[in-house]
């Protein structure tokens, strides 16, 4: 390990195994973070509720990984040389990649980016991919956080959703990851599922807290247009949870996880102390991130851009040096609206002083005037100088945030 504190640069060389040596150059910039998101679109089969960009064309993986690595090289300057504090492989199903794919990706990352030695590096994984052999392979790479898409432990519902794993497989995969040494695991759950009542949701929550993952993301099921699930609802073969049931399931979620020591740090996210998702938190804290792969989004503080949602066109564009993407320059009012939506989702809330300095007095007074009725109704509160949702306000969060947005 070579250190040069005076020069504001530290070079870290770490060997994870006999095959790979990763050299990380870390600039000491504690107030600035940057993240990288890599979209891995491959799935063995699609879940009936999912509208994320994905494909079952697994024969194109090799060409895709090559294109992904080339995009990383092409866009190496997008984050201005800032230290990379988080890397997130999402999907799709990133656990469909093989060790040779991870080798190429991490070699590219370490060749072209300054990655902090303390970086949070997350892999999304499907439970049935996490065999003991595959988990052992993962330990040869810098992954230090796993995000497991469990969704529910109910066998009948898993079959309906077209998930590949069973509840038993999910528990076994989690245990195998623990035995292999993974000490930071997140699990995803969905509530408001067809046929679900409070008792079934309670069983899922009890199983989840018995496993004691560091992090739990819990999302209400959304019937996205034109998905197979949406079509089943239109055919009256499944029924959407009504508002009263949805609120009771959400309330049960908060109460159960809080009782078991989890902090409710974002509307849909809970963690044991200090185990929040650093990568996802960067989205909510206006930090820069680079997104690579089809449909991936990027943000540099002034602009948002997103890649084309087509595997073939993405690969062809990268190969030709003519990446297909769209870009949006963010004006003051768009950035203000983004800040309202992202900050109020979290336990850190909105900083009024930052609001005034970054967006000006006009928007500051506009926001505080519209927030006043919610403060009086105990839907919003000011704590430690920050404006944030109360427990009562969480249940009305969409409406509150909408009311604070700037509208021409």
pLDDT digits (tens, 9 = 90+) for 331-346: 999 999 999 999 999 9
pLDDT digits (tens, 9 = 90+) for 241-267: 999 999 999 999 999 999 999 999 999
Model confidence at 33, in pLDDT bands (50, 70, 90)?
A: confident
The total of other beta-carbon atoms located within 10 Å of residue 352's CB is 16
Residue 102: pLDDT above 80? yes
Residue 291: pLDDT above 60? yes
Is the Cβ–Cβ distance between 407 and 366 less than 8 Å?
Answer: no
Q: Please provide the average confidence, as pLDDT, over all residues in the chain.
A: 90
Q: What is the mean pLDDT of residues 18-46?
A: 62
Count how many residues are written for the chain: 408
pLDDT digits (tens, 9 = 90+) for 164-219: 999 999 999 999 999 999 999 999 999 999 999 999 999 999 999 999 999 999 99
Q: What is d(CA 133, CA 131) in angstroms, rounded to the nearest whole number?
A: 5
Helix H or strand E segment including 289: strand 288-292
Is the Cβ–Cβ distance between 260 and 269 less than 8 Å?
Answer: no
N-to-C CA span, the chain: 55
Confidence (pLDDT) at 4:
28
Helix H or strand E segment including 36: strand 34-40
Confidence (pLDDT) at 22:
37
Q: What is d(CA 366, CA 142) in angstroms, rounded to the nearest whole number?
A: 46
Q: What is d(CA 42, CA 61) in angstroms, rounded to the nearest whole number?
A: 8
Residue 146: pLDDT above 90? yes
CA 200 remoteness from chain centre:
26
Model confidence at 32, in pLDDT bands (50, 70, 90)?
A: low
Tell which residue, 72, 134, 140, 61, has the closest CA to residue 103: 140
Residue 305: pLDDT above 60? yes
Structure tokens at 215: 């992090």
The share of the chain scoring above pLDDT 90, in percent, equals 85
Model confidence at 48, in pLDDT bands (50, 70, 90)?
A: confident
Please enumerate in sequence order all residues whose Cβ is within 8 A of that of 105, keeping only pairs 6 or more positions apart, or say none.
Answer: 38, 65, 68, 69, 89, 97
Residue 18: pLDDT above 70? no
Integer-rounded Cα Rg, in Å, for the chain is 22
Top pLDDT among 211 and 13 is at 211
Is the Cβ–Cβ distance between 147 and 188 less than 8 Å?
Answer: yes
Q: What is d(CA 34, CA 313) in angstroms, rounded to the nearest whole number?
A: 27
Domains, in order of start, for the chain:
33-283 (3.20.20.70), 340-408 (1.10.10)
Model confidence at 402, in pLDDT bands (50, 70, 90)?
A: very high
Burial track 59-92 (b if 16+ CB lie within 10 A, e otherwise): eebeebbbbbbbbbeebeebbeebbbbbbbbbbb
Residue 12: pLDDT above 90? no
Cis peptide before 92 (omega within 30 of 0): yes
Asked whether the CA dihedral 161, 166, 167, 172 is positive or negative, the reply is negative
Confidence (pLDDT) at 54:
86
Is the Cβ–Cβ distance between 161 and 151 less than 8 Å?
Answer: yes
Return the C-alpha torsion angle 36, 222, 269, 163, nearest 10.
Answer: -80
Model confidence at 408, in pLDDT bands (50, 70, 90)?
A: confident
Confidence (pLDDT) at 49:
87
The total of other beta-carbon atoms located within 10 Å of residue 273's CB is 9
pLDDT digits (tens, 9 = 90+) for 52-87: 888 889 999 999 999 999 999 999 999 999 999 999
The total of other beta-carbon atoms located within 10 Å of residue 156's CB is 12
Q: What is d(CA 70, CA 51) in angstroms, rounded to the nearest whole number?
A: 26
Top pLDDT among 8 and 97 is at 97
Confidence (pLDDT) at 20:
36
Is the Cβ–Cβ distance between 164 and 128 less than 8 Å?
Answer: yes
Q: What is d(CA 346, CA 350) in angstroms, rounded to the nearest whole number?
A: 9
Please enumerate in sequence order all residues whose Cβ is within 8 A of that of 396, keeping only pairs 6 or more positions apart, or say none.
Answer: 379
Q: If 0-12 CB within 10 Å is exposed, 13-18 middle and 19+ buried, where does residue 149 land? A: buried
Tokens 């949805």 correspond to 246
Residue 371: pLDDT above 50? yes
Residue 111: pLDDT above 50? yes
Residue 14: pLDDT above 90? no
3-state secondary structure of 73: helix
Q: What is the mean pLDDT of residues 26-38?
A: 62
């Amino acid at each position: 390990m070579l250190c040069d504190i005076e020069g504001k640069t530290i070079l870290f060389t770490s060997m994870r195994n006999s095959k790979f040596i990763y050299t990380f150059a870390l600039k000491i910039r504690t107030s600035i973070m940057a993240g990288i998101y890599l979209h891995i679109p491959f799935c063995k089969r699609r879940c009936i509720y999912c509208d994320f960009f994905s494909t079952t064309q697994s024969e194109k993986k090799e060409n895709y990984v090559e294109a992904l690595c080339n995009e990383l090289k092409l866009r190496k300057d997008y984050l201005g040389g800032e230290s990379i504090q988080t890397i997130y492989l999402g999907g799709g199903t990133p656990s469909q990649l093989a060790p040779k794919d991870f080798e190429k990706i991490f070699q590219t990352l370490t060749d072209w980016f300054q990655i902090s030695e303390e970086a949070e590096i997350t892999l999304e994984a499907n439970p049935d991919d996490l065999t003991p052999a595959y988990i052992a392979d993962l330990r040869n790479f810098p992954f230090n956080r796993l995000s497991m898409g469990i969704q529910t432990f109910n066998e009948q519902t898993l079959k309906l959703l077209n998930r590949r794993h069973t509840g038993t497989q999910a528990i076994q995969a989690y245990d195998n990851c623990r035995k292999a040494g993974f000490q930071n695991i997140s699990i995803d759950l969905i509530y408001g599922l067809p046929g679900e009542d409070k008792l079934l949701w309670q069983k899922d929550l009890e199983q989840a807290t018995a496993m004691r993952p560091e992090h739990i993301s819990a999302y209400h099921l959304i019937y996205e247009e034109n998905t197979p699930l949406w079509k089943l609802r239109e055919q009256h073969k499944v029924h959407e949870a009504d508002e009263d049931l949805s609120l009771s399931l959400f309330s049960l979620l908060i109460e159960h996880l809080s009782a078991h020591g989890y902090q409710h740090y974002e509307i849909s996210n809970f963690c044991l102390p200090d185990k929040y998702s650093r990568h996802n938190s960067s989205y909510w804290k206006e930090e820069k991130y680079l997104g690579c792969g089809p449909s991936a989004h990027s943000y540099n503080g002034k602009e948002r851009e997103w890649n084309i949602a087509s595997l073939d066109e993405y690969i062809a564009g990268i190969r030709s040096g003519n990446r297909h993407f769209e870009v949006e320059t963010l004006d003051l009012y768009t950035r203000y609206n983004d800040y309202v939506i992202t900050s109020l989702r979290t336990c850190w809330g909105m900083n009024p002083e930052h609001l005034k300095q970054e967006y000006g007095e006009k928007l500051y007074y506009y926001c505080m005037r519209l927030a006043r009725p919610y403060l009086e109704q105990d839907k919003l509160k000011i704590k430690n100088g920050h404006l944030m949702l109360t427990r009562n306000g969480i249940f009305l969060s969409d409406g509150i945030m909408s009311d604070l947005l700037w509208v021409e």
